[in-house]
């Protein structure tokens, strides 16, 4: 083992007085893609002194047997480490130039501390694989003519073919790849090799981009680009633009929360800000939910603001690597992308924009479990630049930050062109007349509104946030429920695929004719998903085209766009879908939006379920009435008196936030208290339970230490308890929730627990700071 140093405070570190002398003057601290809380020090051999550098990757002997392992260099120092461990040497430096700059080093360091994971893990996650393995590039051999004074004397004789090749190269007057020269001179590479051997040309190697690594940034299909009609900012937009413009001119960290109702023209404000920053010769990162990365959105950015890179999930490693390099070399002014775009290696970042800042997809659900909005705010702070977060329904975290004065609120309460927000009507499902013998999802009120809309040649969007055909399959004889073989979750029946599926782990099995428990042919398929809804619509509205949009129908790249194009062209009258259809769509001919069941998701065991329901309803309602024809929204619900449903129907975000914040305060939930979750899991139930119990003792110990160190800041610990979904993906799971109004105390307790707790083999734990998934 090589020497750990104390970048992190490591308990029980054995620091012995007598240093081992090594014949080196320079040392490098290296971190690895492991959940380790410290860096390891290596000696830099003389031959690598000129090459080593912070932000480069190196290969070093590590672990048992000293296997060559890649890691990131995070510090170079001439101070000899005082440790009794044997100091090994860096074997190779893998990068010519640092791939992570100083800013990103700081940001990732902060992430490791805040999200309690290894710095190396963060660096590994942040740098795309295509950069790490140089995908999309290759090392090419070039030749160039030598200046006269460097030529051999006397000049060697050359063959006619060699002379022709040499002439060609001189005529080009630039280095050519060996292959390229051979092609131009119509000779073999052997001829060029002869020239090299005779000392008439110089050969050198250089890493270059291949076509796969050169994403097409400026010449992408522009056919969807709308003609650039000059937009004159309206009164609301001008009012919010003023402080923004000031902040962009003066620079420095200025966080803004742009609260604008759907259709208020937020994107136009982003565009102005981006144009301003690009004009200053700086770069912008724009974070949007993955689902909003449609050509429609992108075309609005294109042509307005320099070279654009769009980072979406369908890029290959080579393309991702290519973008990274192009951003790092200053060839890109605007980076638009989902979550991970927050790490774009810009050179002179001038602004970060986050659209739909409340979106849950900004939270990453694997290590490092970061929230891109929070990381973006930290990045803006570290780089001293403005950040503009926009939403019609800001997250309560951001809203509370605004109320505390941490963010400046910019408010746009009206839609552009004085268009009204659509009228929202609640339809109480408890009182809707039923059709005898039928289980219709669409009640008479919604059905007649749909008929009227279709008659008037309007288009309809229907939201049902549940995919599949039947969401609940059980036996009427014995009550057996079809459950996933690997998870404590009910299986959903998918008719198109004719299979039962687990929406968490993807497990699939053939539907049962007979109950697997009692063998009675009494299986009942109940519960409503988008697939069944589509069948009902096709039955009720023959002659109209109904398209379903959910992750089952939209898995292929481009399918999303094809459907939206067809919808825009009027080839589809009714668009049915999950939350996928709730966001960002701007179709002026949509005059009716229906919510089939607003209560889906409202009763989940998650303190954010009301907030999510409100956001979803407000977002989907925002799809109606975006054109001159106006529009209305019908919301079917069993709980029309639930405040989040009532207030969403009145477009009253302010009142909702006020009420929900009172509730959060009472229950000591975020944004009032900090929350972290620790999950213990094992494929062996007994092992998980035993370790969870032991961990409870560790927590007590850690809390005692933290409270003495930090005064008496209260920490509440809940657990261990079984997770709401106890078995997931074959793992039995117990969790702890820990809350405190001091983030410092919370972190200290967890850090103590992490150093003290040593899970036995087969048991692991995960720490989730500011968790979003509570299942
Ligand atoms: P939001 O992002 O708030 O939902 P958008 O920025 O998408 O709103 O604007 C909605 C529509 O209004 C877009 O079609 C946009 O081009 C248009 N728009 C925005 N600002 C103006 C303006 N000042 N004058 C006229 N049209 C505008
Ligand atoms: Zn499963």
* CATH code where residue 705 lies: 3.30.70.360
> Is there an atom of ligand 1 within 6 Å of 158 CB?
no
What pLDDT sits at residue 684? 96
> Is there an atom of ligand 1 within 6 Å of 260 CB?
yes
Closest approach atom of ligand 1 to CA 234: 23
Query: Does one domain contain both 409 and 428?
Result: no
Expressed in angstroms and rounded, the spacing between residue 597 Cα and the centre of ligand 2 is 25
Closest approach atom of ligand 1 to CA 267: 6
> Is there an atom of ligand 1 within 6 Å of 346 CB?
no
CA 634 – CA 625 distance, rounded (Å): 13
What pLDDT sits at residue 628? 84
What pLDDT sits at residue 154? 86
Burial class (CB in 10 A: 0-12, 13-18, 19+), 548: buried
Q: For residue 69, count other CB atoms closer than 10 A to its CB.
A: 17
Which conformational region is residue 502 in: left (phi greater than 0), alpha (psi within -120 to 50 degrees), or beta? beta
**Ligand closest to CA 485:** 2
Phi, psi of 165 (to 5 degrees): -65, -40
Q: Are 429 and 495 spatial neighbours (Cβ–Cβ below 8 Å)?
A: no
**Ligand closest to CA 727:** 2
> Is there an atom of ligand 1 within 6 Å of 262 CB?
yes
Extract the annotated binding site.
Answer: 475, 478, 484, 487, 502, 505, 515, 518
* CATH code where residue 153 lies: 1.10.10
Query: Does one domain contain both 649 and 696?
Result: no
What pLDDT sits at residue 430? 94
Closest approach atom of ligand 1 to CA 232: 23
Give Cα 237 to chain centroid, integer Å: 29
> Is there an atom of ligand 1 within 6 Å of 134 CB?
no
What pLDDT sits at residue 407? 98
DSSP of 724-759, one letter per residue?
EEEEETTEEEEEEEEEES-HHHHHHHHHHHHHH--P
Query: Does one domain contain both 292 and 367?
Result: yes
Query: Does one domain contain both 91 and 104?
Result: yes
Q: DSSP H helical segments within 89-234, as ranges? A: 102-114, 119-126, 129-132, 160-172, 178-184, 189-197
Q: Which residues contact 601 (CB under 8 A, 6 or more apart)?
A: 465, 609, 612, 613, 616
Expressed in angstroms and rounded, the spacing between residue 491 Cα and the centre of ligand 2 is 8
> Is there an atom of ligand 1 within 6 Å of 290 CB?
no
State the pTM of this model: 0.87
Pocket test for ligand 1, best of 267, 297, 358 (most atoms within 8 A of CB): 267
Query: Does one domain contain both 149 and 24?
Result: no
Q: At which residue do the structure tokens 């023959």 appear?
A: 542
Expressed in angstroms and rounded, the spacing between residue 394 Cα and the centre of ligand 2 is 32
**Ligand closest to CA 492:** 2
Expressed in angstroms and rounded, the spacing between residue 550 Cα and the centre of ligand 2 is 19
Q: Which residue's CA is the closest to the ligand 1 atom numbered 6?
A: 265
Query: Does one domain contain both 268 and 404?
Result: yes
Last residue of a domain, one of 637, 664, 691: 664
Expressed in angstroms and rounded, the spacing between residue 264 Cα and the centre of ligand 1 is 6
> Is there an atom of ligand 1 within 6 Å of 586 CB?
yes
Max Cα-Cα span within the chain:
105
669: in domain: no
Expressed in angstroms and rounded, the spacing between residue 608 Cα and the centre of ligand 1 is 30
Pocket test for ligand 1, best of 234, 268, 627 (most atoms within 8 A of CB): 268
229: in domain: no
Query: Does one domain contain both 640 and 730?
Result: no
CA 763 – CA 721 distance, rounded (Å): 16
Closest approach atom of ligand 1 to CA 270: 6
Query: Does one domain contain both 320 and 366?
Result: yes
> Is there an atom of ligand 1 within 6 Å of 296 CB?
no
775: in domain: no
230: in domain: no
> Is there an atom of ligand 1 within 6 Å of 228 CB?
no
Structure tokens at 61: 């002997």
774: in domain: no
> Is there an atom of ligand 1 within 6 Å of 267 CB?
yes
**Ligand closest to CA 261:** 1
* CATH code where residue 29 lies: 3.40.1440.60
Q: Which residue's CA is the closest to the ligand 1 atom numbered 25?
A: 231
Last residue of a domain, one of 132, 161, 179: 132
Q: Which residue's CA is the closest to the ligand 1 atom numbered 19?
A: 265
Expressed in angstroms and rounded, the spacing between residue 415 Cα and the centre of ligand 1 is 8
Q: Which residues of the chain have pLDDT under 70?
A: 1-23, 135-136, 211-229, 303, 707-713
Expressed in angstroms and rounded, the spacing between residue 568 Cα and the centre of ligand 1 is 17
Q: Are 123 and 73 spatial neighbours (Cβ–Cβ below 8 Å)?
A: no
What pLDDT sits at residue 282? 96
The residues with which 501 forms a beta bridge, in sequence order, are 492, 508
> Is there an atom of ligand 1 within 6 Å of 299 CB?
no
Q: Which residue's CA is the closest to the ligand 1 atom numbered 12?
A: 265
216: in domain: no
Expressed in angstroms and rounded, the spacing between residue 528 Cα and the centre of ligand 2 is 19
* CATH code where residue 427 lies: 3.40.50.300
> Is there an atom of ligand 1 within 6 Å of 416 CB?
yes
Pocket test for ligand 1, best of 411, 416, 590 (most atoms within 8 A of CB): 416
Last residue of a domain, one of 512, 528, 544: 528
Expressed in percent and rounded to 5, the helix, strand and coil fractions of the chain are 35, 25, 45
What pLDDT sits at residue 575? 96
Extract the annotated binding site for Zn(2+).
Answer: 475, 478, 484, 487, 502, 505, 515, 518
Expressed in angstroms and rounded, the spacing between residue 508 Cα and the centre of ligand 2 is 8
Query: Does one domain contain both 680 and 585?
Result: no
Could you list the residue range(s) of the whole structural domain that residue 505 is in?
468-528
> Is there an atom of ligand 1 within 6 Å of 355 CB?
no
What pLDDT sits at residue 208? 76
The count of structural domains within the chain is: 6
Query: Does one domain contain both 517 and 450?
Result: no
Query: Does one domain contain both 252 and 350?
Result: yes
CA 661 – CA 532 distance, rounded (Å): 37
> Is there an atom of ligand 1 within 6 Å of 403 CB?
no
> Is there an atom of ligand 1 within 6 Å of 208 CB?
no
CA 255 – CA 352 distance, rounded (Å): 10
> Is there an atom of ligand 1 within 6 Å of 518 CB?
no
**Ligand closest to CA 491:** 2
Expressed in angstroms and rounded, the spacing between residue 272 Cα and the centre of ligand 1 is 12
Expressed in angstroms and rounded, the spacing between residue 390 Cα and the centre of ligand 2 is 36
95: in domain: yes
Query: Does one domain contain both 257 and 388?
Result: yes
219: in domain: no
């Amino acid at each position: 083992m090589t020497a750990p140093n104390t970048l992190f405070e490591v308990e029980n570190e054995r620091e012995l007085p007598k240093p081992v002398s090594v014949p080196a003057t320079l040392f490098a601290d290296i971190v690895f893609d492991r959940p380790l809380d410290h860096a390891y020090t290596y000696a830099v051999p003389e031959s690598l002194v000129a090459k080593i550098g912070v932000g480069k990757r190196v290969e070093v002997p590590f672990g048992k047997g000293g296997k060559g392992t890649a890691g990131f260099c995070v510090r170079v120092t001439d101070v000899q480490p005082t440790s009794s461990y044997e100091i090994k040497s860096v074997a190779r430096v893998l990068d010519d130039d640092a791939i992570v700059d100083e800013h990103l080093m700081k940001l990732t360091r902060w992430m490791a501390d805040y999200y309690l994971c290894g710095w190396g893990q963060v660096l590994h996650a942040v740098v795309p694989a295509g950069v790490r393995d140089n995908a999309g590039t290759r090392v090419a051999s070039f030749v160039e003519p030598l200046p006269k004074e460097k030529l051999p004397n006397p000049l060697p004789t050359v063959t006619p073919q060699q002379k022709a090749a040499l002439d060609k190269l001189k005529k080009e007057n630039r280095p050519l790849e060996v292959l390229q020269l051979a092609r131009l001179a119509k000779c073999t590479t052997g001829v060029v090799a002869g020239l090299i051997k005779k000392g008439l040309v110089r050969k050198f190697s250089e890493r270059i981009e291949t076509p796969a690594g050169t994403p097409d940034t400026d010449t992408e299909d522009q056919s969807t680009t709308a003609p650039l009609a000059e937009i004159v900012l309206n009164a609301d937009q001008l009012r919010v633009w003023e402080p923004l413009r000031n902040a962009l001119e003066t620079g420095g960290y200025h966080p803004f929360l742009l609260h604008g109702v759907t259709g208020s023209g937020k994107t136009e404000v982003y565009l102005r800000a981006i144009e301003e920053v690009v004009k200053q010769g700086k770069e912008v990162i724009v974070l949007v939910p993955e689902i909003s990365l449609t050509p429609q959105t992108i075309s609005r950015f294109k042509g307005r603001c320099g070279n654009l890179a769009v980072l979406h999930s369908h890029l290959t490693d080579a393309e991702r690597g290519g973008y990274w390099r192009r951003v790092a070399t200053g060839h890109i002014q605007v980076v638009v992308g989902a979550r991970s775009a927050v790490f774009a290696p810009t050179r002179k970042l001038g602004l970060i924009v986050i659209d739909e800042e409340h979106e849950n997809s900004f939270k990453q659900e694997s290590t490092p479990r970061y929230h891109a909005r929070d990381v973006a705010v930290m990045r803006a702070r570290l780089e001293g630049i403005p950040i503009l977060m926009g939403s019609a329904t800001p997250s309560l975290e951001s809203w509370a930050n605004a109320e505390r004065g941490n963010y400046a609120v910019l408010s746009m309460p009206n839609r552009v062109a004085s268009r009204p927000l659509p009228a929202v009507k609640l339809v109480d499902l408890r009182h809707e007349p039923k059709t005898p013998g039928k289980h219709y999802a669409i009640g008479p009120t919604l059905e007649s509104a749909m008929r009227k809309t279709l008659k008037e040649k309007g288009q309809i969007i229907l939201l049902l946030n549940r995919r599949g055909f039947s969401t609940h399959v059980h036996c009427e004889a014995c009550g057996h429920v079809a459950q996933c073989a690997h998870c404590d979750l009910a299986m959903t029946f998918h008719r198109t695929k004719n299979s039962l599926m687990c929406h968490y782990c993807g497990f699939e099995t053939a539907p049962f004719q007979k109950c697997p428990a009692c063998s009675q042919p009494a299986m009942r398929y109940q519960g409503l998903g988008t697939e069944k809804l589509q069948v009902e619509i096709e039955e009720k509205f023959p002659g109209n085209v109904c398209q379903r949009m959910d992750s089952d129908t939209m898995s292929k790249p481009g399918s999303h766009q094809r459907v939206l194009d067809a919808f825009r062209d009027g080839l589809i009258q009714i668009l049915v879908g999950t939350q996928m259809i709730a966001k960002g769509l701007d179709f002026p001919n949509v005059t009716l939006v229906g919510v089939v069941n607003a209560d889906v998701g409202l009763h989940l065991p998650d303190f954010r379920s009301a907030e999510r329901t409100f956001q979803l309803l407000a977002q989907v309602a925002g799809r109606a009435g975006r054109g001159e024809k106006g529009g209305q929204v019908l919301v079917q619900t069993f709980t029309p008196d639930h405040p989040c449903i009532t207030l969403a129907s009145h477009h009253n975000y302010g009142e909702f936030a006020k009420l929900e914040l009172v509730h959060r305060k009472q229950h000591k939930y975020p944004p009032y208290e900090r929350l972290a979750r620790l999950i213990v899991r094992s494929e062996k139930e007994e092992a998980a339970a035993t370790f969870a119990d032991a961990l409870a003792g560790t927590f007590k110990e850690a809390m005692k230490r933290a409270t003495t160190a930090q005064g008496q800041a209260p920490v509440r610990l809940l657990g261990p308890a079984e997770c709401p979904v106890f078995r997931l993906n074959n793992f039995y799971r117990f969790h702890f929730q820990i809350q405190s109004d001091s983030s410092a105390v919370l972190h200290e307790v967890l850090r103590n627990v992490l150093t003290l707790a040593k899970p036995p083999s087969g048991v692991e734990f995960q720490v989730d700071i500011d968790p979003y998934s509570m299942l």
